[in-house]
Structures are given as C-alpha cells and as structure tokens.
Chain A
Amino acid sequence: MSAVYSVFKREFGSYFSTPLAAVFLVIFLALAGAFTFYLGGFYEAGQADLQPFFRFHPWLYLLLAPAVAMRLWAEERKSGTLELLLTLPLSLWQAVLGKFLAAWAFLGLALALTFPMWITVAWLGDPDHGVILASYLGSWLMAGAFLAIGSALSAATRSQVVAFILTVVICLLMLLAGFPMALDLVRGWAPQAWVDAFAGLSFLTHFQAISRGVLDLRDVVFFLLCIATWLAATVLVIDLKKAD
C-alpha cells in the first residue's frame, strides 16, 4: 500500500510543479460558474439548491477530465519513465491505482474549490445540505469514472493529443449511451438485451438521480464498477503494449 501512496504523492505533486494545476483550476472554476449562472439560470430559478450547478457537471468533465487524464500514461511512455517506474519493486496494479488516485484527488480538489457556490446558496436561502453533500459525492464519483476511461486510453498511446481526443469520444459515448443517438449505433447489429445493457451504462442517467440529491447505492456501485473496469483495462493495455 505504501508503494501506491508513493506513486500517488509523486503524481499529485507533479500537477503543481507545472502551471498545469493553476491553469486547470482557474478554467474549471470559471466554466463551472459560467454554466451555473448563464446556462443553468441559478438566480432565475429562485430556488435555494445547487441543481443548476450540478446539472452541467457531466459536460464540464467531458471537456476537462480527459485533459487531466491524458498525461497519466502517455507522458510516461514518451519520456521513457514507464520503464523506470515498472522496474521498481511495485506491481503494475499499484502504479495504475496510485496514478489514478492522484488524478482523482486533483479533480476532487477542483470540485472542493467550488465551495463558494455552496456558501452562496446557503447565504441566499435555506438549502438541504445533505442533498448538496450527496450531489458533491456523486459528482466526484462520476469524475472518477471519466478519469478511469482516460487512464486506459492514455495507456494506449504515447501522444497526449490522441489520448485526449479518444477519451472525449468514449466519454461522450458513455454519457449519451441511453440516448437515441448513441443507441442507434448499437441497435443495428446487437440483440435487444445488449442494447438495453448498453443503455444502462449511460453516465447521464445514473448522474441525473444523483444531481437531484438521491445518492442511490446502485448508482454508486455503477460508478465504482466503471472505475474498476477501466483501471483493469489500463493494466491490461500497459502490459500488452510495454514493448512499443
């Protein structure tokens, strides 16, 4: 476990040794605010809750989570540090988990820095704090799922740009899985059971309940399983593509 923590610490620190962290945090907060006030109609709704804020999180992550995840493995591969990391006495799982947790913690920090939103709504009215806390947790879980997808795709290439684009596409597909646009891709050739299963993968459907403050155990399990699956894929991809 201490190896996971060492990898985590190094990775998390590396966000802050370049301007990446500052740039990312500023853009994340600015976009989160813009979405809430302009698109979400936070004031116009006249309700003391953070629904307009959370409703746009899937789209915020669609753009920004791949930007955090793209460097996870592509950079290690490109700079040759992959060889160094994977010949240290730690298992591939520990390395994958440590790096993922660092990215997840970083997005968690970005999310935590939106706290003035919570303060604003608490000052303006009398919101249900339990609901807001649940929404925050759900949002963070979804961020983890996005990052896990990005981790696997970042492992597949040495180009961060390719990793970014692939991740955005796959994340969009996962977001919209329950919608006709994405379902039509599958409906043509797969049996109905598969189509239903695919529709059940939709991040948006699972997040909708969460953004209303209903932290259903099934949604939590869904996102955790999603993270575990994509991290397993990361391990597999790195193992298969080590020689390239």
Chain B
Amino acid sequence: MIQAHALHKRYGRLLAVDGISFKVEPGEVLGFLGPNGAGKSTTMKMIAGFLAPTSGTATVCGHDVQSDPMAARRSLGYLPEGAPGYGEMSPEGFLGFVADVRGLTGGRRRERLQAVFRRLSLEDVLHQPIDTLSKGFKRRVGLAAAILHDPPALILDEPTDGLDPNQKHEVRTLIRELARERTVLLSTHILEEVEAVCSRAMIVARGKVLADNTPAELLARSRFQGAVSVLAADSIAARAALDGMPGVSGFHQEAGDGRLYVFPQGKPVAPDAVAERLRQRGVAFSGLQPERGRLDEVFRRITTAQAKA
C-alpha cells in the first residue's frame, strides 16, 4: 500500500506539489496523469525517499518515508524517470550491485537475479555495457532493478516513455502481471496507457489533484461518450435534419474529413434512431458509427480549465 497525505514541495518560490493526498491498495494500478511540470515526478521522488517533502507525509506499506526511510525503501521498487543505470556496467554487474545493496545473498540472490533476467528477457545482453543497449533494453534493465527484491509496492516514473509500440506492449503486459498482488503507482503522459493498464487514474496539474477516477469514469466525462458520428455529403442538410431530435445536445463537424458528430443529452444517442431520421428526411449518409469517450479531450478540458481559473 502506498499512501500520501497532504504532500507539499516548494522549490524557492515555486510550489511544485500543492497538497497531494491519495491511497493505493494492493492489486491497484494508479496512473498519474498530467502535463509536464505538473508535479508528478516530484511527488514520486518524495515517496521514493529521494526528496524530502516541505510538509505532509507519505507511507509505503505502513512505513513512513521520513521517520523510517530504510523500511520504506525496502518495501518499494522504484524506476526513476529515464531509467538511469551505470552506463559502463553490464546489466549483470549492475543488477548484481543492486542485489548487494539490497542485502540479497547466496541462493536467494542467484534465484532473484535469474528470475528478473528471464522475466525481462535480458539473457542475451547480460554482458554488454548498458550504454550500448537500445532504449528498450535500458528500460528493461531499470525495471529489472526495480523488481529485483520482489517488492510489495512499485513506483514507475514514465515506464514506457520513448519505447516503440511493441516494447510498450511488453512493458504494459509486465506491469499488469506485476500488479496482480502488488501496489503500483505509475506516471505517464500517454493517455492510451491509462486505459491499457491502470485501474485508477489521477489527473494532476500545477501540483494539485484535479480528478481521481477509474478510466471508465473519466471517459464518461467526455462529450464524445455516447455520441454518434456520420459522414454526409450535404452536412448542412444532415445537421438540419437532426436538429431538434430528442436526446441530442449539439453538433461538431470535424474540419479534416467532414465527419459530423452528434452529441448526446443524458443517455447515449442511438445510431438506429439517427439513421432512421436521416432516411426520413432524405439525407444521403455513410459511415454511421457510435463514438466512445476520448481521454485526451477530458484531459485537456480538466487541465486547461484549471490553468485559466
């Protein structure tokens, strides 16, 4: 379990983290979303014990990160942003070092090292300097270091940043597997990732929590949730035909492909009803399809609304 209570961090005049509180239970994956500079990394660094909070407290598995830092660090696996590693060392040497500092010895040490080599498919690059590895492998080495001691809690700062789609998929699968009996807190600014791996998402901007929901709840906030879109040659006629239809709150026409979006009022717009009405009014159309909520739109609305306020 990871818990933060009223965390604040001030850098000179800048308040980077402004009273963030949350709780992540085992089995949960909490995604930290937010624009760059929102305070995601700073919050994670405070929980990982790298930075001291200006005020507030954080606990990892019940151990306070300030009053009992060693116990908190032992229960936590941490992947810093960019997955740093000692470039001149090989993955084997580097992970061996992490195992030593973490106090793993003898059979347990061997067993854990073998386990992470296998799990992250590092066997082929064990003896190459980390500097010469591809980005994907470097990230895997960082992840291996984070899960080496089989910690009950994990903090991953942008675990898939800069990876290609296949590598992203691999890392996400791994995180889902890891999350089964662990507590995971990860940050990302890739919105699709939230739907792919997170059971809960927190939107953070300017050091404050602006939303804390499940991905489905966040999607429901999108105006595209329950909407219907259609392509019509005569979009003005289509719009006129659908105007005043019960359960429709408004329209938006995409500038690029001319697709017309019909937004719902309350419950979702029924595609059949739209088709029926267009046919009745004699408007030719194609490509009628239901829409689902868009996280990027919700994200933009939530984070920019606050900036304006």
Docked Cα-Cα span, A91 to B81, in Å, equals 21
CB-defined A-B contacts under 8 Å, sample of 19: A2-B103, A3-B101, A10-B97, A13-B89, A14-B89, A79-B84, A81-B84, A81-B85, A83-B45, A83-B84, A84-B78, A84-B84, A86-B50, A87-B73, A87-B80, A88-B73, A88-B102, A243-B11, A243-B51
Q: How far is the CB of A232 from chain B (nearest CB, A)?
A: 18
A84 vs B84: C-alpha distance when bound (angstroms): 7
Chain A 81-99: CB-based contact to B (< 8 A → 1; otherwise 0): 1011011111100000000
Judged by a CB distance under 8 angstroms, whether B82 is at the interface is yes
| Interface majority SS (helix, strand, loop, mixed), chain A | helix
Chain A residues lying within 8 Å of B81, measured Cβ to Cβ, are 80
> Beyond A81-B84, A90-B101, A243-B11: 5 further Cβ-contacts under 8 Å?
A17-B89, A80-B80, A80-B84, A81-B86, A89-B74
Please state if A89 and B145 are interface contacts (CB–CB under 8 Å): no
Q: Which residues of A contact B (CB under 8 A)?
A: 2-3, 5-7, 9-10, 13-14, 17-18, 79-81, 83-84, 86-91, 242-243
Q: List B residues 42-80 near A (Cβ within 8 Å).
A: 45, 48-51, 70, 73-74, 76, 78, 80
5 closest residue pairs by CB, A with B: A80-B84, A6-B100, A89-B73, A83-B80, A10-B97
**Do residues A2 and B11 form an inter-chain contact, with CB atoms below 8 A?**
no
User: Nearest Cβ in chain A — how far from B76, in angstroms?
Assistant: 8
* Docked CA distance A89–B85 (Å): 17
Complex interface bits, B103-139 against A, C-beta within 8 A gives 1, otherwise 0: 1000000000000000000000000010000000000
Interface residues of B in 260-301 (CB under 8 A from A): none
Most B CB contacts (10 A, CB to CB) among A81, A88, A90 go to A88
Pair count A-B, CB < 8 A: 70
Q: A18-B88, A84-B85 are in contact. Are A89 and B101 (CB under 8 A)?
A: yes
Name the residue on A nearest B99 (C-beta): A6
Task: Give min CB distance, B94 to chain A, whole Å.
Answer: 8
Using a CB–CB cutoff of 8 Å, the interface residues on chain B facing chain A are 11, 45, 48-51, 70, 73-74, 76, 78, 80-82, 84-89, 93, 97-98, 100-103, 129, 145
A87→B87 contact, CB < 8 A: no
Across the interface, which residues of A come within 8 angstroms of B145, CB to CB? Answer: 84
- Contact B129–A88 (Cβ < 8 Å): no
Inter-chain contact B49/A6, CB cutoff 8 Å: no
Give A98's nearest chain B residue, CB to CB.
Answer: B101
Q: What's the nearest-Cβ distance from chain B to residue A91, in Å?
A: 8
A89 cross-chain contacts in B, Cβ below 8 A: 70, 73-74, 101-103
Task: Compute how far the CA of A91 lies from the CA of B69 in the bound complex, rounded to whole angstroms.
Answer: 9
Pair A79/B87 contact, Cβ less than 8 Å: yes
Contact status B50-A6, CB under 8 Å: no
CB–CB A2/B100 < 8 A: yes
Closest to A15 in B: B88
Q: Which of A13, A87, A243 neighbours the largest number of chain B CB atoms within 10 Å of its CB?
A: A87
A46 to chain B, nearest CB (A): 47
- CB closest chain-A residue, reference B9: A243
Cα distance A88–B49 when bound, in Å?
9
Alpha-carbon gap, A17 to B84, bound state (A): 18
What CA separation (Å) do A83 and B102 show in the bound complex? 15
Complex contacts, B98 vs chain A, CB 8 Å: 88
**In the complex, chain B residues whose CB is within 8 Å of the CB of A3:** 101, 103
A94 nearest in chain B by CB position: B101
Nearest B residue to A85 via CB reads B101
How far is it, in angstroms, between the C-alpha of A83 and the C-alpha of B49 when the chains are bound? Answer: 9
Distance to closest chain B CB from A2 (angstroms):
7
**Contact residues in A for B76 (Cβ distance below 8 Å):** 87
Residue of B48, B86, B101 near A6 (CB, 8 A) is B101
Q: Are A13 and B93 in contact (CB under 8 A)?
A: yes
Which A residues are in CB contact (< 8 Å) with B86? 10, 14, 79, 81
Q: How far is the CB of B146 from chain A (nearest CB, A)?
A: 9
Q: For the complex, what is the distance from the CA of A18 to the CA of B145, rounded to whole Å?
A: 23
Q: Choose one: B49, B85, B89, B97; the contact of A87 (CB below 8 Å).
A: B49
With a cutoff of 8 Å between Cβ atoms, the chain B residues found around residue A243 in the complex are 11, 51
Q: Bound complex: CA of A91 vs CA of B97, how far in Å? A: 16
Q: Which A residues are CB-close (under 8 A) to B88?
A: 14, 17-18
How many angstroms between the C-alpha atoms of A81 and B88 in the bound complex? 12
How many Å from the CB of A45 to the closest CB on chain B?
Answer: 43
Asked if residues A80 and B100 are in contact (CB atoms below 8 Å), the reply is: no
Bound form: Cα–Cα A87–B86 in Å: 15
Give A50 Cβ to nearest chain B Cβ, in Å: 35
CB distance from B117 to the nearest CB of A (A): 19
What is the distance, in angstroms, from A102's C-beta to the closest C-beta of chain B?
A: 12
B129 near A17 (CB under 8 angstroms)?
yes
Query: Smallest CB–CB gap between A86 and chain B, Å?
Result: 6
Least distance between A74 CB and chain B CB atoms (Å): 14
Bound together, the chains give a CA A91 to CA B74 distance in angstroms of: 12
Complex: A241 Cα to B78 Cα, angstroms:
21
Give the complex CA separation of A91 and B101 in angstroms: 11
CA A9 – CA B84 in complex, angstroms?
A: 19
Bound CA–CA A242/B46 (angstroms): 11
B73 CB contacts on chain A under 8 angstroms: 87-89
